[in-house]
Every structure is written in C-alpha cells, then in structure tokens.
Structure 1
Amino acid sequence: MNIAHVFQDALQLANATTVEALVALYRAAIRQFGFSHFIVTGLPSQGQRFENLILERFWPEDWMSHYVSRDYIRRDPVAIASVVYRAPFTWKEACIHAAEPGSAGDRIMMEAADVGLKAGVCVPVPVRNALAGCISLAGEAPITEKDALEPVNVLSLTFASRLQLLADHGRPKGLTLSDREREVLTWVAEGKTAWEISRIIGISDSTVNKHIAGAIRKTGSATRSQAVAKALRAMEIAG
C-alpha cells in the first residue's frame, strides 16, 4: 500500500470527532488489507472479566458469545501472545509459539476459522485498567505479510489512542472512582454479593462494602444499583 495513503488514513483517524465516525474510518482502512473484523480489548488479569475490558468491536456475535461463555481468553494463543509481544504479529506466529501446540489453542483457532476468522494480525496497544491490550484483526484471506504489518500497526495504534480519548471526552465530569471501586462496582453489576466479591478479588467483605460505600458517595447515589447505573453512564465501568 502507498505510504502516503496510510498516513492520510491515520490523519483522518486522529481527527475523528465521534466514536461512530472513528470506527467507520478504521473499518474502511483495514478493509484495504482484507480485514473484515476487529476487536479492541484489554487482557484480563486475576479478578477481571474479559467482556468488561472490551472497548470496541466489529466481531461475529455468535462467536463472541461462544468465546466468552467458554472463557477462551485464558487459552487463546493470540491473547496469550499479546501479553508477551510488543510488536504486531500474525495469528499464525502466535500458534507456532504457543506453549502447548495441538491443544485447546488449536481448537479455538479452528472454531474461529469456521465463522470466517481464518487468519489475522494482532497489534499490542495500551488499554486503560488492563495490564496489556490489543487490537485483533481478522478476515477470510487478509494480507498478513511482514511488509503489511507496519501500516496496520500505524492505523491501529492511532485508532486505539483516539478511541480512548473520545471515550474520555464522553465521560461526565466529577467522578473520581478508584480502580478498586470500579472493580467492585463491576462485580456488583454482575449481581454478586459483597461476600462473593470478597472471595473473587481476595479482600474481606467489610472492605468490599467500604468500596461500595465510597462509590455510592462519589456518584451521589442512594443505593448500590444507582451507583452502578451512574458509573455505567459515566463509562467508569463497562456494561
């Protein structure tokens, strides 16, 4: 691809004023490389839920539900490689370097191929509230040669940066929840009790209640349900 064209696309991404416009521009840009789908997400550490770290996606819905319900993120060779790699890599490379080739990872990749995600590229990107993050791009027959990785890298890093900046601008001002308050509220949103949350994240239930009380106070709420609703609207936690 023409380098000038890539930088023109990147400039448009950097100047997008809405998430909707940004996503449309990114989809058009990556389509030139044969990518029809993408997902931008943080990678979960202990106590975090994968689905709460997803920033944006254009991904087959059935596959997404199947993937989440089976907790594939813990065994997906692409996700595992994303924690280690600092430069773009292909799905094929991730599978080759998987710790246990021929196991669950191969099955995950075969199932992905069955829904049209036959080959892909992964670009490591920083994601807020996650130790690591990535943009994974896929399609039926995308261009994954080495000389295509750098343009995809430029476009994807620009997209991820602008996406998070626009999300920040969309947050109502005044909420200053701590990371632990966000984590606890996320589990409250899942319907967990204080005792259940304490077991999940390894703190006492009284400390959980303290964080819930702090979130209720900071959001100006009367109940934990109200605090969850306000945190969701403010994009302090993911829905």
Structure 2
Amino acid sequence: MNTTHVLQGALQLANAASVGALVDLYRATIVQFGFSYFILTGLPSQGQRFENLVLERFWPEDWMSHYVSREYIKRDPVALASLAHRAPFTWKDATIQASEFGSAGDRIMMEAADAGLKDGVCVPIPVRNALAGCISLAGEAPITEKGALESVNVLSLTFASRLQLLVDHSRPKGLTLSVREREVLTWVAKGKTAWEISRILGISDSTVNKHIAGAMRKTGSVTRAQAVVKALTAMEIAG
C-alpha cells in the first residue's frame, strides 16, 4: 500500500456512515497487510473488567473465552507493552521485552499461536473510560516491516477515532453512567443479587444498591431490569 492508497483508505474510514460499514472497511484494509483478526479495547485499571472495555473485535471466540476466563490480560506481554508505548510495536518485540517477567508471557503467546494468532502488531490508542487502549491485529504471517507499521498506524487510529465517534452519536443524550454504575449493572445483568455483587466487588450491599439507584435515575428506569436494558441499548455496558 503506497502513501496515496493509505490516505484514500483513511478517508474512507473517516467517512463511514455506520459501525458495520466501518468494520467491514477496516477488515478489508488490514487483510492487505496479512492480518485476519483484530480487537479494539481499553485496558482495565483497578475495578474494571477487560471484557467490558472491548469496543469492537473480529477475534476467535474460543480464544477470547479462554483469555477472559484465565484473566490473561494481567500477564499478556502485548497488553503490558501497550501501557508503555505510544507508537505501534510488534508482538515479537513485546514478548522479548516481557521475558524478564518469566515464562507466563511466552505461554500466553504460544497458546495464542495455537488459536490462529501466530504473529501480530499492536497500535496504542486512547479509549474513553480506560487507563489506556490499543488495537491488536493478528494473522498467520503479517507484514510487520517499518513502512507497513506506519500505514497500519494511520489506518487504525482513523478507525478507532471514527468508531468511538459513531458509538457516541448512538448514545441517548444525557446517559453517562459512572465506571462503578456500569460495573454493578453488568453484574445485575448476569443475575447477581446486591449481596453477591458486594462480595464480588468488595463493597457493602448498601453501596451496591446506591449505584443501582443512580443508574436507574440516569436511565429513567423504574426497575433494575429496565436499567440494564437501557444501559445495554446505549452501549454503556456489554451484553
């Protein structure tokens, strides 16, 4: 992809009219660099859950479930490197840098390769309500030379910016839940009681109820179930 083609691709991404069209354009673009998969996500800080910060992904489902259940986000060399980098980097570079932390990172990367994510690139990006964020791209044998990284960086930053703008425009005006309200509602959506949520989050059940009440007020709901539905519709919480 030469400079002209990269700019044309970025312009198409920037003008995408819907999330679906945007994702289709981005996938068609990254395939040209040998990438079959991508995930755009925030990186969790204390009290946040990784799966609730994922904005968009085309990622192997079995690997995603395994990754979340094992809480690999805490030891993933690529995720850890995203906290320190401002420019794109390869998975190989991240793995080398993380070698000082022992074999956990190597094991995660080997399991990822077995799942079809053999090599990749990561582009750090800002994500709302998250400590940091990134787009991680993977494939069998992607192009990771400097020129390709620069092109993928431009296209990925444009994609991330447009995606978050489209998501923002689809939110009901005035609906912005706090981090804790979103977290509590996520557990309510899973069928947990206030007492169970208090044990999970390490707070009192009265505090849980306070956050639920706040979410109900902001969503204009009269029941917890209605608050969950409105928060899901507004993409304040993940289903």
Q: How many residues align?
A: 239
1-side partners of 2:108 and 2:20: how far apart?
30
Please state whether the residue corresponding to 2:107 is helix, strand or coil: helix
Distance 1:45 1:99, change over 3 A: farther
Which stretch has the larger CA shift, 151-160 or 71-80?
71-80
2-side partners of 1:129 and 1:80: how far apart?
18
2-side partners of 1:128 and 1:191: how far apart?
27
**How do residues 169-188 of structure 1 correspond to structure 2 at under 5 angstroms?**
169-188=169-188
Identity %: 84
- Consecutive aligned runs of 4 or more in structure 1 exceeding 4 Å deviation: none
Aligned position for 1:83: 83
Which stretch has the larger CA shift, 144-153 or 99-108?
99-108
Which stretch has the larger CA shift, 191-200 or 21-30?
191-200
Q: Are positions 1:7 and 2:7 aligned together?
A: yes
2-side partners of 1:175 and 1:44: how far apart?
22
Aligned position for 2:134: 134
The unaligned stretches of length 5 or more in structure 1 are none
Shift of 1:191: 3.0
**How do residues 111-150 of structure 1 correspond to structure 2 at under 5 angstroms?**
111-150=111-150
Distance 1:176 1:105, change over 3 A: closer
Aligned position for 1:23: 23
Please state whether the residue corresponding to 1:84 is helix, strand or coil: coil
The unaligned stretches of length 5 or more in structure 2 are none
Deviations 1:66-106 (A, max 9, x none): 11121111111111111111111000000000054551211
Aligned position for 1:206: 206
Aligned position for 1:222: 222
Shift of 1:200: 4.0
Please state whether the residue corresponding to 1:134 is helix, strand or coil: strand
CA contact (8 A) 1:95 1:101 kept: no
Please state whether the residue corresponding to 2:98 is helix, strand or coil: coil
**How do residues 35-184 of structure 1 correspond to structure 2 at under 5 angstroms?**
35-98=35-98, 100=100, 103-184=103-184
Query: What CA RMSD, in Å, does the superposition of the two structures yield over aligned residues?
Result: 1.6
Shift of 1:199: 4.1
Please state whether the residue corresponding to 2:63 is helix, strand or coil: helix
Shift of 1:176: 3.5
Which stretch has the larger CA shift, 67-76 or 33-42?
67-76
Aligned position for 1:233: 233
